Structures are given as structure tokens and as C-alpha cells.
Amino acid sequence: MAGLPLDTVIGEFEFYWNLTLGKSQADRMLNRLVKEWLPEFDALCQLLAVSAVVYADETSWSINSVWAFLSESIAADRRLSEAGRRTRVLPLIDAVRACTSARIADETKPQDDAEKDFFNLTHEIARLMGNDELFTFVIHPEADGTNNISERQLRDAAQDRLTGRTNKTERGARRCTVITSVLDSLRGFVPKFTLATAMEELNRCQQTGISCFRRLVRKLKLRPLDLPDKIHSPLELLVPLNNTG
């Protein structure tokens, strides 16, 4: 139901389940679902905050030859220990540093958007190298070298954005954020994600009172997120709701 117009949701309920709903009924039902799933969204934010690896969308910059070489050669070579992989990465770090050091040392302010993009890229690379994070997926092969998995999971949401099927109100945006986040995150917890397995997990959550996300939060003994005063959920920071929304 996330990303679909309310009329489409109503039509699907009537077609598949012979359940006739008015717009106000469907709206209340979705709002109730969000209220029930908000603790799961908060648990996902806790897990995200402590994740060792977070996949994010890429910029327009790409170092394809470097990524391909690392993915296919060093990271995939199981004969190498972690120390061995670090040794193999050092020449690449030196090469990247040689390509970016001049711009990092140059204090001239960017004159146009292209220079600004390159300025931001070089400084981000320097930050990653300083934190030993530039080649994380090589040192730790369990981390993917690309974010293709995340892109595939978010393809539907991206298509909604491209075709204008987005929410026009803050309440709608908050509702879609919670529902989409919970459903898409289930893909990482359910071995074979289908409608049947998703419903099985959701039914288990309803029966036991705790979801797979919150079970992991308990297992890791994570503390609640440190939020500003009068803010009860990260959702209030991500999609603020004013009195007229």
C-alpha cells in the first residue's frame, strides 16, 4: 500500500478481498498501521546508528576501475589474511592520495558547480582515508563493494519519486516512510522474502509482541537513541510535522 494512491488501495482491497472501504476508513487504517509500526521504525534507526557498514546512494563521481579491481582481485582472494589485504591496499591508497592531495592543499574556493563537486569529493576521500574507511569492503570482505542490494530494494520507492507518485503532505510522507522502511527492511531478516514469509513474520510479531528488529536491539543491548528534548522518535526529525500538516 505504500506509494499507491488511496483510490488504488481501496480498489485492491475490493478486488482481492471483497472488502469495500471508504477513503476515510482506508486513511484511518493506514494511520493505525503506522502507529503500530512506529516502534519498529525506531528500532531500525537504533540498528542503523550502530551499523559497521551503511550502504548509501552514490554521487555522480565514480572510480569504476578501482572498485572493479578491488572487488574482483583483493577482496575476493580468500588466500589473503586481513593484514595481507591491508598490505595490498596501501599502493592504491597512495595513488588516490597522489590524485587528491593537490586539491586538498589548495585553499582556493571553488568557482563553479563542477569545482565544488570535485572539492567535496577530494575532501570526502581524505576524510575516509583518515578514518581508515575508504576500502572497508576490501579489508572486510563481508561488506559489499557496491550498494546494489540497497538500490534494488529501494527501486520501487525511487520509481515513485521519478513518476510523481509521492505524498503531497507531511502526514502522508511520514506514513510512507514508516511503512516502506519496515517492509523493505524485512527483506534483510527473512531468508526468502515473499508475501507469505513477510506475513508469517508480521503474524509472529503480533503474537509475541516483539519484532525481529527489536529482538536484535535487545540482543545487542543497544541503548535508546539520544534525541533532543520533546522529540520522541527519529521520525519527528526526519519528517517534521507542523500543526497545519
Residues 6+ apart with CB under 8 A from 68: none
Q: What is the pLDDT of residues 5-56, one digit of tens each?
A: 677 778 877 887 788 888 888 888 888 888 989 999 999 988 888 775 555 5
245 residues of the chain, pLDDT tens digit each: 555 667 777 887 788 778 888 888 888 888 888 898 999 999 998 888 877 555 555 444 444 444 444 545 666 667 778 888 888 888 888 888 888 888 888 888 888 888 888 888 888 888 888 888 777 777 777 766 666 666 666 666 656 655 555 566 778 788 888 888 888 888 878 878 887 888 888 888 888 888 899 999 999 898 888 888 888 898 888 888 765 44
Q: Are 116 and 110 in contact (CB under 8 A)?
A: yes
Instruction: Give the span between the Cα atoms of 172 and 241, in whole angstroms.
Output: 10
Task: Indicate the pTM of the whole model.
Answer: 0.60
Q: For 170, phi and psi rounded to 5 degrees?
A: -65, -40
Amino acid at 81: S
Residue 178 near residue 1 (C-beta atoms within 8 A): no
Q: What is the CA radius of gyration of the chain?
A: 22
Each domain of the chain, given as residue ranges in start order, spans 6-53+150-238, 64-146
